[in-house]
Chains A and B, each alone.
Chain A
Amino acid sequence: KVDDASHDEL
């Protein structure tokens, strides 16, 4: 599973 490290939640 590839997931960019940026945080897309609050």
Chain B
Amino acid sequence: MNIFRLAGDMTHLMSVLVLLLKIHTIKSCAGISLKTQELYALVFAARYLDIFTHYYSLYNTVMKLIFLGSSFSILWYMKRHKVVRRSYDKDQDTFRHHFLVLPCLVLALLINEKFTFKEVMWTFSIYLEAVAILPQLVLLQRTRNVDNLTGQYVFLLGAYRGLYIINWIYRYFAEPTYSTHWITWISGLLQTLLYADFFYYYINSVKNNVRLQLPA
């Protein structure tokens, strides 16, 4: 464990807490893409299959439980909660996210480190996470004004994998036994690059203290 990995996990944790805070306190999920949340729940379900079979550390197990619990409770809020679900704008959240799932699954079957069920599912989760934000980014472009909490949520979500990239670089040079993980590295880089233009507009809006508006 290094400081970059810890910072990445904390940033990721902050992103889900910001989202839960928004939904739980103001009882609204306006501007949040349910499709991205569904993809993330799938990412965690596929990635953490080893949660009960392979104990690595208490920290890892606790964090996996938090990410699983938070992502599924966000789904519950957005789909079942009588007040919150009314603020979900399904006419705007139209990205056909099913078209993301199948290609990631096929790619995971073709390109993986080991052809076992758990390894293919883990690889599938890596590929899917790289594109899971797309419905949310598309929704942000549509809903002109982005409220602060949603902007913070997306920013933190993009920053966490960026910190992981620094963690991978650090581990590669600092840990003699750390080998190459091209699948994780390339997917993580692609994932972070998808946020590039969002980061640009978000940082500008924070700097100039104006509301975040993404270009059409």
A contacts, CB < 8 Å to B: 1-3, 5-10
Contact = CB atoms under 8 A, between A and B. Distances in A.
A9 B8 CA distance: 11
Interface residues of B, number: 24
Q: Please report whether the interface of chain B is mostly helix, strand, loop or mixed according to DSSP.
A: helix
B179 A2 contact: yes
Interface stretch (B59-67, B103-111, B142-150, B201-209): B59-67
A4 B66 CA distance: 25
Interface of B: 5, 9, 12, 47, 50, 54, 56-57, 60, 63-64, 67, 113-114, 119, 122, 164, 167, 176-180, 184
Nearest to A3: B179
Given A10-B12, A10-B64, A10-B67, A3 B119 contact: no
B67 A5 contact: no
B176 A1 contact: yes
Contacts of A9: 5, 164, 167, 184
